[in-house]
Structure formats: C-alpha cells, structure tokens
C-alpha cells in the first residue's frame, strides 16, 4: 500500500484515555524515524475521538471521571477480566461500533496496523476479515494486563514483562506470537544521566536543592493535591515540581495556593524526559508509562496511588525490585521522601535498581519488528545516513 510518495503506510491505533497509549505510540514512531528515517507514511488514529459513534466519542474526557470511582472501576475490571468476558463485551459492542470501524478501515488503508490500546483489536480485526494487513498489539500495561489485550487473531503481541507474557499464554494466546520486549519509551529518557544541574538551570528550578517531581499520569489523577500540600507543609529541604497534566482545574487550584517550599506548577508538559532527568525523586501514581520512563531515566520513585485492576501489579513490580517505595498516604509519602533526602545512598540504590529494570531498547526493537512485517525492501540506516537528519526531534 503506497501513498503518492510511494512510502509504505503504518497505522497506529491509540486513544487519549490516560497518557500512556499516546506516549507508547509516539516512542515507537520516534524509534522508526531514528532507525529508518522518513521511509514510511505513519498515521496515528484515536479510536474513540476520531471514529467512535457519538456515545463513545467522549471516552478520553470521560476516562478520568470513570477512574475517579476506583472501587467501581476495579470491580468492572475484575468482572470483565477473562477471555470469555472479553469476547462477550466485544461481541455486544460490535453492532454499535461496526459502521465507525468500517469508516476507520476504509479511510486508513495501510501495510501494517499497530494497536497500543486494548479495545482496538476485536472490532478492527472483525471488520477487516481474512484479507488484511498484519496486526500487531503492543501491550502498554506492565503486569496486571487485562484479557482484552490478548486477541487471538492478532499476528503478534508485544508485551513489556515476563508476567504479561505469562498472562498472554494463560489467556490462550499462541506462544509463537507473544514476545517480551519491554514498554516503549522515548529515546530521550534513555540517554545516560549526568547533566541534571544544566537541566535544572534551563527549567528555572533551584540548582542547590533536590527536586521532587509529582505526576498523576496524563490526567493529573490520584490524590495529587493532598500529596503536594503534605510535602510543602512538611517544609522538606527540596523544591517541588507538580505536573497537573490535562487536569486544568487542578492546575488552577494549585496555582492559587501559597507554597511553603519552592514550587513549580505545570499543566501537560511535552518535555517529560527533561523533567525526569532534572528531578531527583519521582512521586507518582503507578501508571505504566511514567514508571517505565522513570526506570529508563534511572529515577527512584515513590508510588502514592494505583488504579485498581490494571495498575495493581505495577506496585510490586517496582517495590520488590527495590526501584521504589509504596506510600499510599500523605504522611507516609512525606516520610519516604524525608528518608531518601537524608540518606542519599538509599536513593542511589533505588536509582540503580531502576536502571536495572529498564529496557531502553524496547522502542527500537518494536520498530524493527513492525518494519519486518512490511514485505518490501527497506533500508536500515547507518548513523550518518542523510535521511536520519530529517528525523523529527
Ligand atoms: N505525560 C506527559 N506530560 C504530562 C503528563 C504525563 O507527557 O504532563 C505522559 C507521561 O510521560 C507518560 C504518560 O503521559 O508517558 C502517562 O502514562 P501512564 O501510563 O503513566 O498513566 P496514564 O495517564 O496512562 O494513566
């Protein structure tokens, strides 16, 4: 399948339900550019915003509200988390989404499809039928992966951890189709650390203080406000950087407050790699994207909340390996930060454990696997190839 430039087409299916699906797709696209230059026509489609029927179009806006009722979300997650339930859900939804999915497929002809969202595979594969391009799923949850990720007809299923691999097998996937590659993160997280002071200076943060980076996923979720207040009230010898993500109201409320320690408030930032490399401690909800980025940036982390169901396993994944601490209450968060501030060796140990868990090659490996599915001659570029200079930054 060629466009007028004669470039093979790659279609990425994602949605802004949270920030992790977009980040994963963008990291893979970046890796494709880094390794192959501009030899492909790449499209990103938000399966809800761009194509879903009216009732589902607002899913990205509804998602933060839905997960605000964690018990209901967790219950829904558990009840639906079997291969049989996943089939029933997707079969019942099909009549409602069929027309939209047909438009998506008609308007986006391509040579390979990459889905980074658990809800894309079933309807797309059903509409496409037998004569279709290869379909690759890239699982963007780390450990407690939902059955919906594992559609048996997908050609390949790329997973971030051994546990996610085992779950794929338990849910009946053919082991030949499942590969452990790691969760893809942007190359900019994986550059060796070293110039934190320079980054602090560039961002206007105090260079003489450790920086605590507080993140609640793409949507500013979890008790972020309470946590920020507790850290500032404790007057810890540190600066606080709070990222409210797409949660505009939260950002406004935070900006109205008077803070007892140097505090910097941001909405959704594009420069997360720089933020992580300039920070000394990450305090975050247990989002898979943020965790994987922090691992690659060698940033020790304190996890303060998790979504029941999909993020539960992430906490033990981080804590058991020594890359971070679990502190679900503002008091325990303050205590954990305090112990790391007064014991830099402990913090460094956690930073080293983070790096051990990191899989900096994940995005590049996934890029390579995707390109192998395109049965056309592709040039693997050397570092000095002129096409590489056109790589978007
Ligand atoms: N993110 C970002 N800018 C922000 C806040 C978040 O780029 O201001 C990115 C973050 O780096 C990560 C993703 O959004 O890649 C959040 O993904 P995660 O899986 O941690 O949580 P989710 O938002 O999907 O629940």
Mean pLDDT, the chain, as a whole number? Answer: 91
Lowest mean pLDDT among 57-61, 162-166, 181-185, 351-355: 57-61
- pTM value > 0.85: yes
Q: Is the CB of 274 under 6 A from ligand 1?
A: no
Domains of the chain, by residue range, sit at: 9-185+360-372, 193-357
Q: Say whether pLDDT at 295 is over 50.
A: yes
Q: Is the CB of 286 under 6 A from ligand 1?
A: no
Q: What is the mean pLDDT of residues 164-179?
A: 97
Quick one: tokens of 79?
């009840």
Query: Do 138 and 366 form a contact (C-beta atoms < 8 A)?
Result: yes
pLDDT digits (tens, 9 = 90+) for 119-144: 999 999 999 998 999 999 999 999 99
Quick one: tokens of 59?
């899913």
Looking at residue 393, its pLDDT comes to: 35
Q: Say whether pLDDT at 2 is over 70.
A: no
Q: Say whether pLDDT at 106 is over 50.
A: yes
User: Fold identical between 9-185+360-372 and 193-357?
Assistant: yes
**pLDDT > 90: percent of the chain:** 77
Quick one: tokens of 154?
């997908």
- Tell me which residue has its CA closest to atom 14 in ligand 1: 19
DSSP code, position 323: S
Segments in 156-223 forming alpha helices (H) = 162-170, 196-203
Question: What 3-state class would DSSP assign to 38?
Answer: coil
Looking at residue 65, its pLDDT comes to: 75
- CA pair distance 8, 378, nearest whole angstrom: 9
Helix (H) or strand (E) holding 293: helix 288-297
73 pLDDT tier (thresholds 50, 70, 90): confident
Out of 3.40.50.300, 3.40.50.150, 3.40.50.2000, 3.60.15.10, the CATH code matching 193-357 is 3.40.50.2000
Q: 80 alpha carbon to ligand 1 midpoint, in Å?
A: 25
Cα-based angle 194, 199, 205 (whole degrees, multiple of 5): 130
Q: Say whether pLDDT at 380 is over 80.
A: no
Q: What is the mean pLDDT of residues 260-273?
A: 97
Q: 251 alpha carbon to ligand 1 midpoint, in Å?
A: 16
Q: Partners of 112 in the beta sheet?
A: 10
Looking at residue 3, its pLDDT comes to: 63
Q: Is the CB of 217 under 6 A from ligand 1?
A: yes
Q: Say whether pLDDT at 384 is over 70.
A: no
Pocket test for ligand 1, best of 17, 21, 23 (most atoms within 8 A of CB): 23
Q: Partners of 137 in the beta sheet?
A: 115, 157
Q: What is the mean pLDDT of residues 369-375?
A: 91
Looking at residue 387, its pLDDT comes to: 52
Query: Do 318 and 324 form a contact (C-beta atoms < 8 A)?
Result: yes
Q: Is the CB of 289 under 6 A from ligand 1?
A: yes
Question: What 3-state class would DSSP assign to 273?
Answer: helix
Nearest-CA neighbor of 201 among 297, 269, 282, 277? 277
Quick one: tokens of 387?
């096409």
**pLDDT > 70: percent of the chain:** 93
Looking at residue 341, its pLDDT comes to: 97
Q: Say whether pLDDT at 193 is over 80.
A: no
Q: Is the CB of 20 under 6 A from ligand 1?
A: yes
Lowest mean pLDDT among 9-18, 90-99, 151-160, 332-341: 90-99
User: Looking at the chain, how many residues does it have?
Assistant: 393
- Tell me which residue has its CA closest to atom 3 in ligand 1: 269
Cα torsion 308, 314, 317, 321: sign: negative
Atom of ligand 1 nearest to the CA of 287: 20
What is the domain class of 9-185+360-372 according to CATH? alpha beta
Atom of ligand 1 nearest to the CA of 245: 8
Instruction: Give the CA diameter of the chain.
Output: 63
Looking at residue 66, its pLDDT comes to: 76
pLDDT digits (tens, 9 = 90+) for 326-367: 999 999 999 999 999 999 999 999 999 999 999 999 999 999
- Tell me which residue has its CA closest to atom 22 in ligand 1: 18
Q: 243 alpha carbon to ligand 1 midpoint, in Å?
A: 10
Looking at residue 391, its pLDDT comes to: 41
Atom of ligand 1 nearest to the CA of 17: 24
Pocket test for ligand 1, best of 16, 17, 19 (most atoms within 8 A of CB): 19
Q: What is the mean pLDDT of residues 134-157?
A: 97
Q: Is the CB of 224 under 6 A from ligand 1?
A: no
Looking at residue 377, its pLDDT comes to: 61
Q: Is the CB of 17 under 6 A from ligand 1?
A: no
Q: What is the mean pLDDT of residues 159-172?
A: 97
Question: What 3-state class would DSSP assign to 336?
Answer: helix
Q: Say whether pLDDT at 313 is over 60.
A: yes
Looking at residue 228, its pLDDT comes to: 97
Q: 172 alpha carbon to ligand 1 midpoint, in Å?
A: 30
Q: How far is CA 90 from the centre of its chain?
A: 23
Nearest-CA neighbor of 369 among 179, 204, 175, 109? 179
Q: Is the CB of 219 under 6 A from ligand 1?
A: yes
Q: How far is CA 214 from the centre of its chain?
A: 16
Q: Is the CB of 292 under 6 A from ligand 1?
A: no
Q: Is the CB of 271 under 6 A from ligand 1?
A: no
Q: 361 alpha carbon to ligand 1 midpoint, in Å?
A: 20
221 pLDDT tier (thresholds 50, 70, 90): confident
- CA pair distance 321, 108, nearest whole angstrom: 42
Looking at residue 389, its pLDDT comes to: 43
Looking at residue 390, its pLDDT comes to: 46
């Amino acid at each position: 399948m060629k466009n007028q430039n004669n470039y093979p087409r790659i279609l990425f299916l994602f949605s802004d339900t949270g920030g992790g699906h977009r980040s994963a797709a963008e990291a893979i696209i970046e890796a494709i550019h880094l390794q192959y230059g501009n030899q492909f026509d790449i499209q990103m489609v938000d399966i809800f915003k761009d194509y879903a029927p009216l009732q589902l179009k607002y899913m990205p806006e509804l998602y933060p509200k839905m997960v605000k009722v964690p018990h209901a979300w967790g219950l829904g997650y558990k009840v639906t988390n079997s291969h049989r339930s996943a089939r029933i859900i997707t079969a019942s939804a099909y009549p409602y989404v069929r027309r939209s999915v047909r438009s998506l497929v008609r308007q986006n002809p391509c040579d390979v499809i990459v889905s980074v969202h658990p809800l894309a595979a079933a309807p797309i594969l059903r509409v496409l039928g037998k004569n279709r391009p290869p379909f690759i799923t890239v699982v963007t949850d780390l450990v407690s992966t939902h059955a919906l990720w594992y559609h048996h007809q997908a050609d390949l299923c790329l997973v971030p951890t051994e546990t996610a691999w085992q779950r794929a097998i338990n849910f009946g996937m053919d082991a030949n189709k499942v590969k452990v590659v790691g969760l893809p993160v942007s190359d900019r997280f994986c550059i060796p650390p070293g110039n934190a002071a320079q980054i602090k200076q560039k961002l206007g943060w105090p260079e003489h203080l450790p920086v605590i980076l507080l993140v609640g996923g793409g949507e500013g979720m979890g008790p972020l406000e309470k946590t920020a207040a507790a850290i500032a009230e404790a007057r810890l010898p540190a600066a606080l950087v709070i990222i409210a993500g797409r949660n505009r109201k939260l950002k406004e409320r935070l900006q109205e407050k008077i803070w007892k320690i140097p505090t910097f408030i941001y909405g959704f930032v594009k420069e997360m790699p720089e933020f992580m490399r300039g920070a000394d401690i990450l305090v975050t909800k247990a989002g898979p994207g943020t965790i994987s980025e922090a691992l690659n940036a060698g940033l020790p982390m304190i996890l303060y909340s998790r979504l029941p169901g999909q993020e539960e396993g992430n906490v033990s994944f981080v804590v058991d390996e020594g890359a971070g601490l679990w502190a679900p209450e503002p008091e325990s968060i303050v205590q954990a930060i305090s112990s790391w501030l007064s014991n830099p060796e402990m913090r460094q140990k956690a930073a080293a454990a983070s790096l051990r868990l990191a899989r900096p090659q994940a995005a590049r490996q996934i890029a390579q696997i995707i390109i192998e599915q395109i049965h056309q001659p592709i040039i693997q570029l050397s570092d000095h190839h002129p096409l590489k200079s056109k790589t978007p930054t």
